[in-house]
Amino acid sequence: MIRKKIKKILVPLDGSKNSMRGLDEGIYLARQCQATITGLYVIPIFPRNFVDAIMPFQIHLTKIAKKFMSEAKDRCAQKGIVFKSKIIFGSPTVEIEEVSRKGKFDIIIMGSRGQSGLKEVFLGSVANAVVHKSKVPVLVVK
């Protein structure tokens, strides 16, 4: 019964070990359900007055994101899973929710904590916000 319901899986990635754990769970579920995975890498945006000063940094972050998404695609290809990558700028929480809704994804699978330096008691701030705001089911991988 579940095999017919899950066809599109959204996996937010940020280059952390936990996001790779989320990808691994996504791969497992995709193999069980014959689903496709879309990896979403959201590069945070900064206030407009800082843009000129941090433009080289954003270019650097984009290169890192492309490299990481390429590794994720290879990891999926080894398991026979179709992987689509999407790199965007914005607020991670807002963009994850918006992409999941507009793309009509069946489930979001994400790591419990990303690369932020601050650790919350149970979930990272992005995972916590996505769990509470998303209309799509969310699987959080620890």
Return the pLDDT at 60: 86
pLDDT digits (tens, 9 = 90+) for 91-140: 999 999 999 999 999 999 999 876 554 444 445 688 999 999 999 999 99
CA distances from 51 to 14, 58, 74, 99, 129 (A): 21, 9, 33, 24, 26
Q: What are the chain's domains?
A: 2-141 (3.40.50.620)
Return the pLDDT at 112: 86
Concatenated DSSP letters for 116-128? -S---SSS-HHHH
Residues 6+ apart with CB under 8 A from 142: 18, 21, 111, 112
CA-wise closest residue to 93 among 70, 116, 74, 77: 116
Instruction: Enter the tokens of residue 52.
Output: 């000129």
Return the pLDDT at 115: 55
Mean pLDDT, range 25-29, rounded to an integer: 96
Q: φ, ψ for residue 59 (rounded to 5)? A: -65, -40
Return the pLDDT at 20: 93
Distance CA 129, CA 60 (A): 27
Q: Is 19 exposed, middle or buried (0-12, 13-18, 19+ CB in 10 A)?
A: buried
Q: What is the pTM of this model?
A: 0.87
Instruction: Enter the tokens of residue 64.
Output: 């890192």
pLDDT digits (tens, 9 = 90+) for 46-103: 665 565 566 777 788 899 999 999 999 999 999 999 999 999 999 999 999 999 999 9
